[in-house]
Amino acid sequence: MCNLAGYTGNRLAAPILIEMLRREQYYDGGMSTGIATIHEGKLYCAKVLGDLDTLIDTTDALNFPGTIGIVHSRPSATYQTHAHPFTDCLNKVAIVLNGTLRDVDTDDYYIKSCGIMQDFFDRGKPSKTQIPYNGKLQKLSNGMTYHDSEPYAFMAADNMGKGMCLCEAAADAMSALPGDLVTLTISVDEPDTIAIARVTRPMSVAVCDGETYVASTPDAFPTDILPRAMVSAPVTCVTAARPGTCEITEHKIKNVATQAITADIYAKAYYRIVSVLKGKKYDPQSMYGLPFFTEWRDLWKEPYTECEFNNGKGCLKPYAELSYAVLYALEKEGRLHRIVEEEPKAGGIKLYKFWID
């Protein structure tokens, strides 16, 4: 489960983004981390293998200029180029993504994804994340493969080059490769807008005077802000976050359906999380390592998924949104506690422990 945050307003974005990510990073340990901001028509981007402290210690991220930006942390890491954000060839668009291919892990998905990236390669726009073929994706013509999230950045930039606005470009990109996902996209051509394209993964929005904050959990929002509104971004369409505003646009995410979290499902999930975590400390490298997460299929009615790459006549299920909603409630109740190990594990990876009393 990756953690995302974004800010657009009237103050320097980088320090705000870094502190928001620090507040939510414990939900899923930061094994790779990155940030992007925009200032005077230029995209500033830095990413590292490691957590926020590594990003701050080894890059100039904290001092990036600009009053808009996005930031990302994820619970896995192999290559520095595979850390988020991802950018297009001209460094005009940046995206961060949270999601999984668990429910669309089909040959059709990989064939279409590879065809998209091969087209960019043939047009002189090679992948920035190329690695030797790892057996996961269809190979490009040069024998290499790429990170699954990179096509969304390339497609969004290409769409804007064809005349689409940022939000339409993000919707079209997500519609081409739908799944259990959410993306935040920024562009130097619309330097005050964050396009939120959400299918199932959580994304909260806090609107204040002259500022708008977005994050995977409202627990990330600064404690001293006074939001006029705090909402969850709607699913299967794109929301435009701008300074002091949040607009649900007409741009829909096609080829996918989602199931809502009902009160009954939430109540069962709350009980299950409490019963599993109460009095026990866990230090998973990912939310997926927690016992309750792998047992949640029984909370939803079958058939399971419905999108372009899985033709079961059901809906994608918002696992992660449900997890974060319950954990946020427990945080507000004062029952959720967390610590960070003082000494990192082998490879410099810090693990985040949390428990419920």
DSSP 295-314: GGGGGSPSS---BTTB-SSS
CA distances to 8, 63, 155, 201, 205 from 14, in Å: 10, 7, 26, 24, 18
Query: Are 3-103+151-252 and 263-356 in the same CATH fold?
Result: no
Annotate 316-339 with DSSP letters as a single string: B--HHHHHHHHHHHHHHTT-EEEE
Q: ∠ CA(30), CA(187), CA(232), 5° rounding?
A: 60
Nearest C-alpha neighbor of 133 from the set 114, 155, 109: 114
Per residue in 220-272, pLDDT tens? Answer: 999 999 999 999 999 999 999 999 999 999 999 999 989 899 999 999 999 88
* Overall residue count recorded for the chain in this entry: 357
* CA dihedral over 100, 80, 35, 327, signed as positive or negative: positive
pLDDT score, position 323: 86
Fold held by 263-356 = Arc Repressor Mutant, subunit A (1.10.10)
Q: Left, alpha or beta for 41 (phi > 0: left; psi -120 to 50: alpha)?
A: left
CA distances to 98, 122, 256, 344 from 304, in Å: 20, 37, 12, 39
Q: Quickly tell me which residue has 């059709």 as its tokens.
A: 108
Positions in the chain whose pLDDT score sits under 70: 26-29, 102, 279-295, 302-304, 311-313, 339-354
How far apart CA 184 and CA 189 sit, in angstroms, is 15
Structure-token pair, residue 271:
């009980």
pLDDT score, position 346: 46
pLDDT score, position 100: 81
* Longest CA span, the chain: 57
| Whether 43 contacts 49, CB under 8 Å | no
Cis amide linkage into residue 318, ω under 30° from 0: no
Q: Quickly tell me which residue has 């899923």 as its tokens.
A: 28
Fold held by 3-103+151-252 = Glutamine Phosphoribosylpyrophosphate, subunit 1, domain 1 (3.60.20)
State which amino acid sits at residue 254. K
CA distances to 53, 112, 270, 299 from 47, in Å: 12, 28, 35, 37
How far apart CA 215 and CA 206 sit, in angstroms, is 9
Cross-strand partners of 336: 356
pTM of the model: 0.93
Domain locations along the chain: 3-103+151-252, 263-356
Q: Which helix (H) or strand (E) holds 274?
A: helix 263-277
